[in-house]
Amino acid sequence: MRANIIYYIIILITMLGAPISILAETKNNDKSKYPPYPDVWGYDISEVTTRDNKSSFSSVYKALNGDIVFEVLDKRYNEKGLIKNKYLILKFFEGKTEEVDNIKTYIKENNLERIYEISKIILKNGQHIESYYSTGGTLCQNNELLQNLLLKGQVKEGRDRLSIHDEDVEKVSIIAARPNISRSIDKEDGYCDRGGPGGGELIYEQLYFLPMGMIKLDDDTFITVSNHLAIRFDSNFKTKFKPKHDVCLSTTNDWCIKGNFFVIPYSIIEELDMKTTKDNDHGVQGLHDRILLYLYKQQGEEKK
């Protein structure tokens, strides 16, 4: 009788042991790997795609292990036009890039969760980082470099957002440079006629405001992405990402600015905009070119 009881106890322990082991293994596999986050701070996809001026970041996802996964649309062209669209997957913290045949299947099979960029981040100390956009003006084209900025500070009692008019709010602009110069058409009488008869003033642009939205991480850092750049910043707008490309002001590439993104106080933008207005210059083009020259004076070099 005693032997039978011991036998059944052994069987019971064996039966209970299997699911416990499986449960432990499953729990371990589902455990998030990130955070803590490795020392990874950014990517320039012009280095991993076939045509840097035709490739851009598309959607953003979060993997089960906590990694941030970017979908990259790589438009491949030949002399006759578009050949086909290719999709790349970039795993931000793992640092892996792979080409995907069917993006929808890949997302489903890897249980990727779609996430969206946000305009407000609340830090652990209660301060906010917010992206700010102002509207208005008579130009057909928005003056992006003037109308966009980042705010950082403590929200006043009774409010849920920062105010650009608060004196104790830090105002910062993060400006990036496209691999190639873009062109658009503007007209200053409130009527937009992009490329049609009568047209408008032709605008050449290379600089743009980078953080239209932010991807919040769990350590008071955030990722901002646009066009060909995805960069991680800390709460003081600093990053360890080192760009490999420069911005050159001449076709011979002998007058260049080191890097292709820049963090500058918004007060500089306001000062340059005032000079543009004083000189009765075109708002969009005038401010753009003055910022470009400012950056060159700060960190440019003549290559001989």
Where along the chain do its domains lie?
Answer: 33-116, 117-302
**pLDDT score for 205:** 85
pLDDT < 70: residue spans in the chain: 1-31, 47-54, 78, 81-83, 136-141, 185-200, 250-254, 300-304
How far is residue 266's CA from residue 280's CA, in Å, rounded to a whole number? 21
**pLDDT score for 50:** 52
Compute the CA torsion angle 175, 132, 238, 267 (nearest 10 deg): 70
* Residue 66 near residue 32 (C-beta atoms within 8 A): yes
What's the pTM value of the predicted model, to 2 decimals? 0.82
Peptide bond into 265 cis (omega under 30): no
Task: Please give the backbone phi and psi of residue 222, each rounded to the nearest 5 degrees, phi first.
Answer: -145, 155
